[in-house]
Structures are given as structure tokens and as C-alpha cells.
Structure 1
Amino acid sequence: MANGELNRHEQLASDLTQAIREGLLKPGDRLPSVRETCQRRGVSPSTVFQAYGLLQAHGLVEVRPRSGFYVRPQPRPLRPAPQAAVPKPEAMDVSVSALAFDILESTRDPGVVPLGSAFPAPTLFPLDELARAGTRAMRRLRPEQVTTALTIGDPGLRETLRRRYALQGVPLQPDELVVTNGAMEALNLCLQAVTRPGDIVIIESPTFYAALQALERLKLRAVEVATDPAEGVVLEDLERLLDLHTVAACWFMPNLQNPLGAVMSPKRKRQLVELLARHGVPLIEDDVYGELYADGRRPPPAKAFDKDGNVLHCASFSKCLAPGYRVGWAAAGRHVAQVLRLKMMTSLGTSMPSQLAIAEYLVQGGYDRHLRNLRGALSAEQHRARRMVEHSFPAGTRVTLPAGGYFLWLELPPHVDALELHRRAMAAGISTAPGVLFSADRRFVHHLRLNVGHPCDPRVDPALRTLGRIASALGASQRQATGGRRRGAGAS
């Protein structure tokens, strides 16, 4: 019954979301009553309540006492979302680690408002339940388990993961999954498996700064491809780059791209996989945010369209269940043997207690319920924080409309330097992630990524207002300085 109800209520919520997005249900319209929806759709009242509750958690509807559910007015976009960048087609050496370390070190201070952090609030995760699951699992641990699955990972966890992928329409081979120390190890191992120093790797623009750090460490060169804030990698531009360069690999985030929040459609993912297969270029797929979609059903990974083992798919539990446990995995296709060899030569294995705790938690059930609650909390906070940005930041600010996750990507007015904004914000006890972190040539000078995944932190709203005031002051002073220079030039 649980799986049937889950599918029906998510489908009902997805259908209503689409009707709201297309304007068939307008702000202020009353949703059909629970009884009416039960009769029309042939579902139970609990299914309707779950669907309406999901819409409420995502900020799309509101409850009016003794009246029912109504479509909630949505925030008017400040301006159109940031446009896709037009990066240079040349290969570039990468050097971002020092800057990234200096900036991101600030997020470790609990006294700083963590708008620059890469993680959502730890209070959103079932840490007590995971601890109890770990205790139960460790009591049953057999001595031979410690070494028999040392490199490839615990067989119970791997089988559970394979089953979840199969239910999503992604069949994986029995020995294709390698458990790793978080997604970062998976991504680094996969990158190393298909490249050599000096090779060219195509990355998104903007891209996750950890991808740049990995390229820097392995002495690889980056070519950036235009990435649309809503639809992801621009395939036409990618094809031109593949014709222009000898490319060793691509590292992309087709689902909830960091920092943009873009999700490629299933059609474009299929086209991406087919394009790279024709060119013989492996795709390293970072799907660490794939479970944090806001509406409808989980978007399929690019791996779902991989017929040749050309997609090295990487993910983890760090952003959706167990931050700090450092349990990730790679489904490395035809490159799995090389990934295994590299893991054996580096970390050798992944913490067995962490693997067993998560495997026990998954088997006991409750993971999907936790994910629904997490998605709802993050989606509602993202909508709320976006409204705060609209009211607090200077005119001309553009902001993305992510399809889930917990990041907002801001394009500030041209007079506002995001790195200087970050420095002044840190002096006020607020961390941010300035846009220069997200490109090999530090092009995003006027951009900012904000982590809004802290729904229970009372410091977030004041911090957003403070950031808005700092950005306005920076813009005004820069415009004044520019105007003064122009008047001085005219006088001379």
C-alpha cells in the first residue's frame, strides 16, 4: 500500500504543480475539495492530503482555516534569471585552491551565518536514527566483513543501492558500484581513471569549485561550456567544443547543477549521452543533489540513458541523509576496474561502520519519508529566501529559479564586486560564496552563491537584509567613484 500511495500522491502533486506553473490554476484560486479530488482521481483522502501537504511545503499553496487550500501568490521575478555565460573556447590551466580554501574556511566557524557553506543545516537529518541503526548493525558485524569488501564496499549497501536505481529505471551491473569516501572521492577517482596530466576536460560555466580543484590537482586543463540557468549545458556549444578540441572527459551536473540549480530534461540528457558516445568522450556525472528535486518525481540521471558504459555516475548520502558519514559511490560503467585499482592505491577502503549504519537505516525504511520532509523544508525555505532577496537586494539583481536543492545564484548589478561583498559580509559575521570560485578564469565577478538550506536558523533573514544593504552601499560608492572620475576627465 505504501508504494502505491506514494506514487499516487506524488503524481497528483506533480499534475497540480504543472497546472499552477502553466497558469491553469491562478494565484488565489481554490483547489478542488478533498472529496471532489477523491471522486475525480479515484484516490483516497490520505493521498489527497499528502499531495496538498507537499504543495504547501513547496510554497505553492496555502491553507485558509475553514475554507480549504488556495494557490499562493508567487514572488515576481526581480528580472529574468541570469543568462548563460559565454565562456572562451580556449583551454585554461586551473588555479583556484588557495582562494577556495581561504574563503571556505570561514564556513567552519559556528558563529558565522553559513550562507557560503556547501551543506544544508545538520538539524534536517535523522542523525539519532542513523546512530541507532549503526549500533544495531555493528552488533551483527562478523569479523570477516571488515576485510572481504574492503575496497569495493559492503555488499548489503551496494545491493540496496542497485535496487533503488533499478526502481528508477537505471539498471546497474552487479559489480559496477564502488563505495567511496563521499562523492568527492568518487568523482576524483573517475576523473583520474579517464585522464592524464595535460588533458582537456570540459566543465560547466559556472561550475562547482571542487571540480576546478580536482583539475588543478591532476594538472588538467579546463574548457568551459555555456550552461543555461534553467536547462543546463548548452548542447550546441558543447558539440562545437568537441569538434574544436581533443577532449578526455566531461564533468557535468545534469541534475540540480551547483551553483545554478538547473535540471536538464530527460530528452536533453539522452542527447548529451549520445553526443559524447559518438565522440568517444566519457561523462563524469555528479548527481549528489539528485534526490533534492522540488516537484514531481526524481529526475533521471544521465546514467539512465547510458548504453555503452560511457557514463561514470557519482553520488553520495552527504547532502541528503548523512553529512559527515562520508559514504558515496561510483557506478563507473566500463571504467570500474580502473576506478577500483585507483581506490586500492589511495584510500583502500571506506569506513565500514558508516556503510553498515546507512545500509541498516535504508533496510529499516523511513528514507523516502525523510526525503519528502527534507525536500519540503528546503523548497519552502528556498522560496522564502528568494522573496527576501527580492525585497532586500539592490535593483538590477537577478536571481535563479532553481528546480530544487538549497542554493540561489545571484547576478548582482555591474557596480557590485561580489568578492568585496564577501569580505565586508565576513566582517559582519556572514559567509558567502563569491562567483569567482566557480570559473577557471574567475569571470563571475558580480555573482554570488547563497546557501539557503537553514530553515530553522533565525540569523538567516537578518543576514540576507545585511547583505542587501552592503550590496547597495557598494554599488552606490562605485557609481559615485566612477562618476567622479568621469567629471575629472571632462574638466581636464
Structure 2
Amino acid sequence: MSIIEPQETTLYYQLAETLAETIHSGTYLPGSRLPAIRRCASHHQVSVNTVLAAYRILEDRGLIEARPQSGYYVRGVLPSVKAGSRHSTTVRSPSSEKLDLIETVFAAQNHPDYTNISLACPQNSDFFPTAKIRRIMASLLRREPELIGRYALPPGSQRLRREIARRAMDLGMALTVEDITLTHGCMEALQLALRAVTKPGGCVGIETPTYFYLFPLLASLGLTVVEIPTDPQHGLSLDALELLLQEKRIQALVAMPTGQNPLGYTMRLEDKKRLAKLVNQYQIPLIEDGLYCELQFCWPLSPAVKAFDTDGWVIHCTSFTKTVAPDFHVGWIAAGRFSEQLSRLKSVSSLTESRLLSEALGLFLESGGYDHHLRTIRRRYAAQVDEARGLIARHFPKGTRATQPCAGFVFWVELPGSVDCVELFHRLLQEKICLTPGALYTLSERGNSAMRLSCCYLFDERYTWALKRTGALACEMSGIAAGID
């Protein structure tokens, strides 16, 4: 399926975005008729051709359908994933079978012959500012060839840290250059934070479902897990968390309040404020994974929880791997009251980051190129999420549920009946298609009939075929026909 590339000055794209927002907000309900083309053109003061082009975009996304001699109608939408229990928490450690499955899936995700529909890493240079970064790096090396002969000792490039501090204001964070330490990606930032605030044998609170690689990371540090109930639309159960804090059952909390992986939700502003207040009140560190904060679909951006941190108990971790260049592995951490411990740990861990990559990234941010790139890529991911959900609505079993992400490019899909998504994963591997079964993202049984899907690929024939084939096999396994109820 072709994608119409969005342009900032394209009227039909702007109109499509406006109409998509009204559909998502419920102004136009499933089955309702959109305004006639001439009426829509008159209302928005655009041409008939502009309206037709906008409606074609919405058709491509799966949001509307044309009915002969009748007009355009809002398609049926995927029902939302239901919330589970809001209060029960259980201490667990990942089983060896769970860890083995993670390794199997991770190996399959990186197999060059497989078509991936769930790896959360864009695989095409179309999603990154490759040409601009290449020019900046070439110019930098011509002017300062000695860069590749220098270590960039902690806390790292001052130019990049200055730009990070400036950009952090968009997320409500008042940071100084001295507050920021560069890391080797977000995973190192999370690891350093955990090592700074926990001890082996301790217990860490996490969302459920959560990013699956946290399980082997926590296990490697000798930590057990408390899975805290998490609403698919609104996030962590703060009532359940407060009970854990009152009982002093956890040493730290790891959470993704914005663009959560794998559900895609962003917590409400009042909940973010309450979360910050709770961890400060009970003096338990929150390790905030902000990997998708800058890929929010709305503007202004929802603030990070760190923005409401009053006494340094929130540690904000993120990187540029999802937005600029995965291979750079340039991340950063604002550790609050734990900055000194973290700096020491960084010095005995990876010690240094690439000066060349850090300076090039700093210049890219400084030039304004990053802002332009983010505006483009946010729109593209929002459109591709809609299109993927449209394909699922048409080709997956009736009764399939899915989350509606507010940021990033991943979302959660739950199949009806008793479809075992681990079995589905293994059967699809035989056809060289790789998905990520939901069982990886939780230590409970909830994820057995679920999967995480990703929209950070070119929506070409190969990707759309793989998604349709996944739906067809799910229909076969469930005995349920495709389509929306």
C-alpha cells in the first residue's frame, strides 16, 4: 500500500489530519457519514480536489470507506483492550523458559531474511535524517580531524548536553548542562540507574505489560519484580502503587509514563503529577524511561514526570536511537539526587562515549534540523499506526482488540478466543514472518493471547502481506472469521 508523504504546506494532508482527529475524538462515530465532498470543501474553504485527496489518505489509513452512490463513511474501529485488575500485585522472577523465549524472539527479530512486523526499530533510512547527519559528520571531520583521537569522558560532550537541556524544556524539565550525563543508549542509562538505587535481593516495581528486556536486566542484577496493574489507556494503577510504597515493598519503580512500550498510552497530566508526588513523599526512586517522549502525536508535548519532581527522586532516562540513528547509541540520564553515584558507575562501566558522534548529534540539534525531522516523523508514525490498525480490523479475527497509541510506533493487540501467540510466533517463523508474542511482556498469563506490533517500517507489499498473513493464521487458529463485529 502506498503512503502519501506528508508535507507541512500540503492542504489535503492538513485537512486529513483535522478529520482524523475528529474521528479519534468520537465526533464522527463508526458508521456515520462524512460531509459530502462539496460541503466539506465549502466549510474548510478548500477545493474539491483537496477534499478528495484528504479522503483518500483517510481511506489508506483504514479510517473511512467509500460507498457507491452514497458517500464516505467512518469504518468500524477496533475495540479497546480491556483493563485488568487495578489492585493485585505479585512478586515474581522470570522463569528460565521466559528468558529463553526472549532470546529466541530477539534472534528472530534480527534475522535478515525475516519480515518483521514488531521490532521496535525502524529498518529504513527513510525514517532517519541520514543525509543531514552524514554532511554534518563529514564537515566536522574536515574541520576537527583530531576528534577521533580523543576520549569523551563523563559526563560527555558539552555541546550535546547543552542542546539536551534546552530541548528538555519542551517536556517541562528544567535541567542544566551539569544535570545530564551521556550514556551508551537508553538501556545503559536504565542499568546505571538500577545499580545506583537498588541492591541485589531487592524488589523493583514495574508496569505490566512492560518492555520485555527489563526482565533479563533485572535478573542479571539479582532483583525480583512486582508487576503493578496497568490500564491500557491510562497507565499505572497509582492506588496499587501507593499501597506498595506504604508497605515498603519495593526499592525502586521503573515506568514509561509517556508512549509506553508495548501499550502506547500516555498517562494523564494529573496522574503524572500524582506519581511524582508519591515517589517524593515515600522517597522511592522512579526510573522514568522517556524513550518515546519526543515522538508524541500531540503538541504541546505532555510533560515528563521529571517535570514535577520536587526533591530529585525521579531519574529520567532516554536516547536518540528511535529518532535519529540507532547505531549511534547516544543516550542520556538526568539522575537528580543520584547524580554522584551514577557518575561513578558510568566511569567504571563503559567510561566514555564517542566524541565524534556526540558532537555531530549536538550540531544537528543546534541547527534546528532535529525539530523539522521530528515534526515529519511524528505525523508519519501517527498515520502508519492508523493504517496498521485498519489492516488489523479487516484481516484479524472478529473481536480482536487493540490499543490506540498516543506516541511512538508500537501498540498492543489481543486476539479473541484462546489463540496462543507463542504458537502463532513459531508458526509464522516457518513463513519467515516475525512478531513478538505478548507473553514476553509480562510474567503473568495475561499476554498469552496478545502480541506487540510495530509501525516503523515502509508500508510496502512485503509488510502489508506479512500483517495480512498473520491475521489469516490467527483466524485459522481461533476458528473466527476476519473483520469487525
TM-score normalised by the chain length of structure 1: 0.83
Question: SS where residue 251 of structure 2 aligns?
Answer: strand
Q: What's the CA shift for 1:73?
A: 5.1
Bigger mean CA deviation after superposition, 219-228 or 351-360: 351-360
Match of residue 278 from structure 2: 275
1:127 maps to 2:130: yes
Match of residue 318 from structure 2: 315
Match of residue 490 from structure 1: none
Match of residue 483 from structure 1: none
Please point out which of 352, 355, 360 is paired with 2:355: 352
Distance 2:19 2:400 in 1: 30
Please point out which of 349, 368, 372 is paired with 2:371: 368
| Paired residue type of 1:425 | L
Please point out which of 456, 460, 464 is paired with 1:457: 460
1:440 maps to 2:443: yes
Task: Mark the CA change 1:372 to 1:446 in structure 2 (over 3 Å): closer, same or farther.
Answer: same
Task: Mark the CA change 1:36 to 1:452 in structure 2 (over 3 Å): closer, same or farther.
Answer: closer
The question of whether the paired residues in 2 share the 8 Å contact of 1:82 and 1:410 is answered with no
The question of whether the paired residues in 2 share the 8 Å contact of 1:13 and 1:296 is answered with no
The question of whether the paired residues in 2 share the 8 Å contact of 1:134 and 1:360 is answered with no
Task: Mark the CA change 1:17 to 1:162 in structure 2 (over 3 Å): closer, same or farther.
Answer: farther
Q: What's the CA shift for 1:103?
A: 1.0
Distance 1:194 1:431 in 2: 36
Q: What's the CA shift for 1:454?
A: 1.1
Distance 1:72 1:133 in 2: 47
1:252 maps to 2:255: yes
Match of residue 266 from structure 2: 263
Deviations 1:14-73, CA, capped at 9 Å, x for gaps: 9887655445567513799899879xxxxxxxxxx9xx99x97995999x9xxxxxx985
1:136 maps to 2:139: yes
Distance 2:295 2:258 in 1: 9
The question of whether the paired residues in 2 share the 8 Å contact of 1:381 and 1:455 is answered with no
1:102 maps to 2:104: yes
Question: SS where residue 416 of structure 1 aligns?
Answer: coil
Question: SS where residue 213 of structure 2 aligns?
Answer: helix
Distance 2:467 2:111 in 1: 18
5+ residue gaps, structure 2, are: 1-7, 46-50, 481-485
Distance 2:73 2:41 in 1: 21
Match of residue 165 from structure 2: 162
| Paired residue type of 1:312 | I
Distance 2:420 2:291 in 1: 30
Distance 2:419 2:148 in 1: 56
Q: What's the CA shift for 1:120?
A: 2.2
Please point out which of 23, 29, 33 is paired with 2:35: 29
Question: SS where residue 91 of structure 2 aligns?
Answer: coil
| Paired residue type of 2:90 | E
| Paired residue type of 1:303 | K
Question: SS where residue 288 of structure 2 aligns?
Answer: strand
Match of residue 3 from structure 2: none
Task: Mark the CA change 1:144 to 1:271 in structure 2 (over 3 Å): closer, same or farther.
Answer: same
Bigger mean CA deviation after superposition, 24-33 or 118-127: 24-33
Distance 1:390 1:37 in 2: 30
Q: What does 1:109-258 align with in structure 2 at a 5 Å threshold?
A: 109-123=111-125, 124-141=127-144, 143=146, 149-258=152-261
| Paired residue type of 1:440 | L
The question of whether the paired residues in 2 share the 8 Å contact of 1:61 and 1:72 is answered with no
Task: Mark the CA change 1:264 to 1:146 in structure 2 (over 3 Å): closer, same or farther.
Answer: farther
Q: What's the CA shift for 1:174?
A: 3.0
Q: What's the CA shift for 1:186?
A: 0.6
Task: Mark the CA change 1:149 to 1:353 in structure 2 (over 3 Å): closer, same or farther.
Answer: closer
The two structures, once aligned, show a CA RMSD in angstroms of 3.4
| Paired residue type of 2:311 | D
The question of whether the paired residues in 2 share the 8 Å contact of 1:137 and 1:360 is answered with no
Deviations 1:422-460, CA, capped at 9 Å, x for gaps: 000111111011011101345411111111221343211
Distance 2:456 2:173 in 1: 29
| Paired residue type of 2:163 | T
Distance 1:88 1:24 in 2: 36
TM-score normalised by the chain length of structure 2: 0.84
| Paired residue type of 1:215 | L
Q: What does 1:320-469 align with in structure 2 at a 5 Å threshold?
A: 320-441=323-444, 443-469=446-472
> What percentage of residue pairs aligned between the two structures are identical?
34
The question of whether the paired residues in 1 share the 8 Å contact of 2:200 and 2:222 is answered with yes
| Paired residue type of 2:84 | A
Question: SS where residue 445 of structure 1 aligns?
Answer: helix
Q: What's the CA shift for 1:396?
A: 2.2
